[in-house]
Structure 1
Amino acid sequence: MTDIAKRVYDHAWRIDPIVRSLLDTDFYKLMMLQSVFRRHRDVEVEFSLINRSDHVPLARLISEADLREQLDHIRNLRLTRGESTWLRGNMFYGKRQMFDPDFMEWFENFTMPEYHLERKGDQYELTFRGSWPEVMMWEVPALAVLMELRSRSVLNGMGRFELQVLYARAMTRVWEKIERLRELPGLRISDFGTRRRHSYLWQDWCVQAMVEGLGEKFTGSSNCLIAMQRDIEAIGTNAHELPMVYAALAETDAELRQAPYRVLENWHQDYEGNLRIILPDTYGTKGFLDEAPEWLASWTGIRIDSGSPEKGAETAIDWWKERGQDPAQKLVIFSDGLDVERIQELHSRFHGRVRLGFGWGTLLTNDFRGLAPDDRLAPFSLVCKAVSANGRPTVKLSDNPAKAMGPADQIERYKRVFGVGEQALDPVLV
């Protein structure tokens, strides 16, 4: 096991790469990548960095030279032979050859496209423009780089013993959380912490702790590289990116209203009825379910990623009952800002009523709250989202308006089209 504190203290390389593999990304990104490659490789998109926590001055904490060095390193990465073999031959969700030969041939020759970086005051403007299947691959590594460079800037001035104590305390915190979680009967929990992790080494340590501490209750990691290296399940299906881009490409209000369902029609065809998890909150969960076609009710389950998780799950349970489905046979995955207390509360409320899953993210892989002077290692909310498609702005409404994004006039249009009324505003920690 790597001595993380010693590694942080001793490293003196000209560049210590944060991202060393194209597989250091989330599995859902590869699943979406293959679908986009099949259907929309000519769509031009733009992704942009969005720091929701503007009190964290990234451009003062991270030098532009260091950031460019990391991004340029990523642009030189290629899929290795071993990584390609894992993707081509491994079993994912009980299915071999999840990735088609034509897609793999393209991906084996893939390199990251160019980026645009500019300092704007105390923040960075970081954007990626180009064909959708190329540009979309920047989201996860760009976030991981910025989060870890921020961590390094705080750790840089610490002494050897201070670092040892810092990591000892953080490890103790993670282990105490694991001890509390393993008391929950029937728990199924995964690592979803790649995008806003403290560092790659720390995420890997957290996964190893989960493997040992939770046993079969730990179902895998969203991080492909860690899943491959630790011989565990790679976890993930799809994200808000798909309905956001599909919606932006819609020509009329009627097409816009159907865009989220067209995403899932295509998904069903692309993966032959596997990976049937609904992510309904892009334009409001209730409206999505109210207007959903009958065939969606037979899908495996639903992921709750914004708003009140209790309300979202109860809405889904009522919907299944109305559609003649048994909620006890359905899977509900909670994945929004989870920590032990919320996992315990949600487990207590829904255990036995539905099949439960938890995607534990930032507060697994980046919970250093109160452990550094002035709390400078506290997690914060940083995202990288598709902001346009073929020159049209993208919009996300979410079940929490604090997570909404897009031009004000388009947000109002989308709210009208999708029948979204008043929403409760919840603080966004991560």
Structure 2
Amino acid sequence: MVDIATRVYNHRWKIDPIVRSLIDTDFYKLLMCQSIYRNSPKTQVTFSLINRSKNIRLAELIDEGELREQLDHIRSLRLGRGESTWLRGNMFYGKRQMFRPDFMEWFDALRLPPYHLEKRDGQYELTFEGTWPEVMLWEIPALAVLMELRSRAVLNDMRRFELQVLYARAMTKLWEKVERLKAIDGLKLADFGTRRRHSFLWQDWCVQALQEGLGEAFVGTSNCLIAMNRDLEAIGTNAHEMPMVYAALAETDADLREAPYRVLADWHEEHEGMLRIILPDTYGTRGFLKHAPDWLAGWTGIRIDSGDPVEGAESAIAWWKERGEDPTKKLIIFSDGLDVEKIAELSTRFAGRVRFSFGWGTLLTNDFRGLVPGDALAPFSLVCKAVAAEGRPTVKLSDNPVKAMGPPEEVARYKRVFEVGAQTPMDVIV
């Protein structure tokens, strides 16, 4: 097992680039990328870094030269022969050749496009522009770099024994969570912690701890590189960026209203079974389910990624019943801000009523709360989102209004079109 404390202490040796591979990313990015490469290969988009935790002044913590060095390293990466072979030949969700030859030829030749970096008011403005299939693949590595450089900045002056003790405490903290999770009957849990991890080495350690501690209850990881190295299932389906871009390109309010369903119609053509998971909250779950076409009720399940998870799950169960579906045969994936207490609570409430699983993210791979003075390693909310498509602004409403993004006039328009009524703000932890 890797001695993480020593590697952190020696990180200036450059043996640990933060992002080591183009597949050190979430599996759903590659699934979406293939769909986008097929359906919208020339669409021009802009992605931007958004730090929701304004009190974390990243440009005052992280050296610009070091940030540029890490970003430039990512631009030098190409898909390795073994990585390409794994993507082409491995079985994902029970299917061989998930990735088409034309997409793999494109991916084999890919180098990520340039980035634009500036400092403004103690924060970094980091943007990526270009064709959608290329630019979208910056999201996960960009977040991983900023998160890990922040961790390194906090740990920079710690000595070897301080680091050994810190990581021993963090390992103990995680193992205590694992022991509590063991008591949950029927648990199914995956690692969703790539984008806001403490570090790559720490995420890899967390995955190994879940493998050993949870056994078959641990169903896989969203991280493709770790899935390949640890012979695990790569987990993921689709995300908010697809409806956000489709919606931005809509010409009329009627087209806008249909955009989230057109995304899933395209997805329906490519995937089946466990990959037919609805993400309904981009413009409000209530309105999405109210106007959803009947064929969507036949999909395998729903992922709940914002708002009150109990309310979201109850809405899904009621919707399936209204559409003549048996909720006990459906799957709900909870993936928003989870930790052990919430996982246990949701498991108890929905046991026997629906199938469910959990995508455990930041509080799995970056929970160093209370372990350093001033809580300087506490996780924070950093995202990298599509902010424009073909020069038009994108909008996300979410089931939590705190997560909404977009120009105010467009947010108001989207709320009207998608019939979003009163919403309850909820604290965003990560």
TM-score by length of 1: 0.99
1:214 aligned partner: 214
Letter paired with 2:139: E
Q: Output the CA distance in 2 between the equivalents of 1:156 and 1:189.
A: 33
Q: State yes or no: 1:294 paired with 2:294.
A: yes
2:31 aligned partner: 31
* Structure 2 residue matching 1:321: 3-state secondary structure: helix
The 8 Å contact of residues 268 and 274 in structure 1, kept in 2 or not, is answered as no
1:205 aligned partner: 205
Aligned-pair CA distance for 1:272: 5.1
Aligned-pair CA distance for 1:13: 1.8
Letter paired with 2:348: S
Q: Output the CA distance in 1 between the equivalents of 2:386 and 2:17.
A: 25
Aligned-pair CA distance for 1:17: 1.1
- Residue by residue over 1:50-97, the C-alpha shift from the partner in whole angstroms, topping out at 9 and shown as x without a partner, is 000010010010010000000000000000000000000000000000
* Structure 1 residue matching 2:142: 3-state secondary structure: helix
Aligned-pair CA distance for 1:9: 1.3
* Structure 1 residue matching 2:148: 3-state secondary structure: helix
Q: State yes or no: 1:223 paired with 2:223.
A: yes
- Residue by residue over 1:359-399, the C-alpha shift from the partner in whole angstroms, topping out at 9 and shown as x without a partner, is 00000000000101111000000000000000000000000
1:340 aligned partner: 340
Q: Unaligned 5+ residue runs, structure 2?
A: none
Range moving further from structure 2, 35-44 or 265-274? 265-274
1:284 aligned partner: 284
1:133-282, aligned counterparts within 5 Å?
133-271=133-271, 275-282=275-282
Identity fraction in percent: 74
Q: Output the CA distance in 2 between the equivalents of 1:24 and 1:311.
A: 34
Letter paired with 1:175: W
Aligned-pair CA distance for 1:121: 2.0
The 8 Å contact of residues 206 and 365 in structure 2, kept in 1 or not, is answered as yes
Aligned-pair CA distance for 1:36: 0.4
The 8 Å contact of residues 282 and 399 in structure 2, kept in 1 or not, is answered as yes
* Structure 1 residue matching 2:292: 3-state secondary structure: coil
Q: Output the CA distance in 1 between the equivalents of 2:106 and 2:56.
A: 38
Aligned-pair CA distance for 1:15: 7.1
- Residue by residue over 1:302-323, the C-alpha shift from the partner in whole angstroms, topping out at 9 and shown as x without a partner, is 0000000000000000000000
* Structure 2 residue matching 1:127: 3-state secondary structure: strand
Range moving further from structure 2, 384-393 or 11-20? 11-20
The 8 Å contact of residues 273 and 300 in structure 2, kept in 1 or not, is answered as no
The 8 Å contact of residues 15 and 69 in structure 1, kept in 2 or not, is answered as no
* Structure 2 residue matching 1:295: 3-state secondary structure: helix
Letter paired with 1:116: H
Q: Output the CA distance in 2 between the equivalents of 1:274 and 1:320.
A: 17
The 8 Å contact of residues 329 and 355 in structure 1, kept in 2 or not, is answered as yes
TM-score by length of 2: 0.99
Letter paired with 1:122: G
The 8 Å contact of residues 47 and 129 in structure 2, kept in 1 or not, is answered as yes
Letter paired with 2:212: E
Q: Unaligned 5+ residue runs, structure 1?
A: none
Q: Output the CA distance in 2 between the equivalents of 1:16 and 1:317.
A: 46
The 8 Å contact of residues 75 and 111 in structure 1, kept in 2 or not, is answered as yes
Letter paired with 1:362: T
Figure out how many residues of one structure are paired with residues of the other and give that number.
430
* Structure 2 residue matching 1:129: 3-state secondary structure: strand
1:93 aligned partner: 93
Letter paired with 2:271: Y
* Structure 2 residue matching 1:422: 3-state secondary structure: coil
Q: Output the CA distance in 2 between the equivalents of 1:89 and 1:41.
A: 24
2:392 aligned partner: 392
Aligned-pair CA distance for 1:274: 5.6
- Residue by residue over 1:215-274, the C-alpha shift from the partner in whole angstroms, topping out at 9 and shown as x without a partner, is 000000000000000000000000000000000000000000000000000001022566
Aligned-pair CA distance for 1:12: 3.2
* Structure 1 residue matching 2:13: 3-state secondary structure: coil
1:8-87, aligned counterparts within 5 Å?
8-14=8-14, 16-87=16-87
- Residue by residue over 1:281-317, the C-alpha shift from the partner in whole angstroms, topping out at 9 and shown as x without a partner, is 0000010000000000010000000000000000000
Aligned-pair CA distance for 1:16: 3.8
Letter paired with 2:162: E
1:362 aligned partner: 362
1:119-138, aligned counterparts within 5 Å?
119-138=119-138
* Structure 1 residue matching 2:127: 3-state secondary structure: strand
Q: State yes or no: 1:414 paired with 2:404.
A: no
1:424 aligned partner: 424
Q: Output the CA distance in 2 between the equivalents of 1:374 and 1:425.
A: 27
Letter paired with 2:137: M
* Structure 2 residue matching 1:49: 3-state secondary structure: strand
Letter paired with 2:230: R
